[in-house]
Amino acid sequence: MRRVVHVGPLMAPGGMSSVIKLLAANPPEGWRASSCNTFSRRGSIQKLRRWQIAKKEIKTGDFDLVHIHCASDWSYKRKISIAKVAKAPVIFHIHSGRFDIDTKSDLEDYQVVCLSETWSERLKPLIGDSISVPNPVSPQQNDSIERENFTLLMGRNDPVKGHSFAYSLGLEDLRVTGVDNAPKGVTALGWVSEEEKWRLLQTAGCLIVPSEYEGQPMVILEALSAGCPVVASNNVPDLPDCVKVVDIGDKSGWIEAISNPITERLKEAVAKHHVDIVSKQWGEIYDRIIDSSASTE
Co-location of 29 and 108 in the same domain: yes
pLDDT tens digit string along 190-200?
999 999 999 99
Co-location of 122 and 26 in the same domain: yes
Co-location of 6 and 28 in the same domain: yes
Q: Please report which confidence band the pLDDT of residue 74 belongs to, taking 50, 70 and 90 as the band edges.
A: confident
- Residue 232 in any domain: the answer is yes
Note the pLDDT of residue 156: 86
CATH number at residue 199: 3.40.50.2000
CA distance 230 to 205: 9
pLDDT tens digit string along 90-135?
999 999 888 999 999 999 999 999 999 999 999 999 999 999 999 9
CA distance 231 to 240: 11
Co-location of 249 and 268 in the same domain: yes
Q: How far apart are the first and last CA of the chain?
A: 20
Co-location of 291 and 267 in the same domain: no
Co-location of 16 and 131 in the same domain: yes
Q: Which domain holds residue 179?
A: 151-272
- Residue 146 in any domain: the answer is no
Co-location of 209 and 263 in the same domain: yes
Co-location of 68 and 155 in the same domain: no
CA distance 23 to 11: 15
- Candidate from 11-15, 102-106, 209-213, 224-228 with smallest mean pLDDT: 11-15
CA distance 245 to 77: 33
- Residue 145 in any domain: the answer is no
CA distance 224 to 263: 9
Co-location of 31 and 118 in the same domain: yes
- Encode the chain in three state secondary structure: CEEEEEEECCCCCCHHHHHHHHHHHCCCCCEEEEEEECCCCCCHHHHHHHHHHHHHHHHHCCCCEEEEEECCCHHHHHHHHHHHHCCCCEEEEECCCCCCCCCHHHHCCCEEEECCHHHHHHHHHHHCCCEECCCCECCCCCCCCCCCCCEEECCCCCHHHCHHHHHHCCCCCEEEECCCCCCCCEEEEECCCHHHHHHHHHHCCEEEECCCCCCCCHHHHHHHHCCCCEEEECCCCCCCCCCEEECCCCHHHHHHHHHCCCCCCHHHHCHHHEHHHHHHHHHHHHHHHHHHHHHCC
Q: What is the pTM of this model?
A: 0.93
CB distance 97 to 215 below 8 Å: yes
Number of domains in the chain: 2
Task: Decide which of 52 and 13 is more confident.
Answer: 52
- Residue 143 in any domain: the answer is no
Co-location of 229 and 284 in the same domain: no
pLDDT tens digit string along 235-250?
999 999 999 999 998 9
**Given a cut of 90, is residue 57 above it in pLDDT?**
yes
Nearest to 292 by CA among 113, 149, 89: 89
Q: What angle do CA 202, 206, 212 make, to 5 degrees?
A: 120
**Given a cut of 90, is residue 141 above it in pLDDT?**
no
- Residue 164 in any domain: the answer is yes
Co-location of 109 and 179 in the same domain: no
- Residue 142 in any domain: the answer is no
Co-location of 13 and 97 in the same domain: yes
b/e string for 152-167 if b means 16 or more Cβ within 10 A?
bbbbebeeebbbebbb
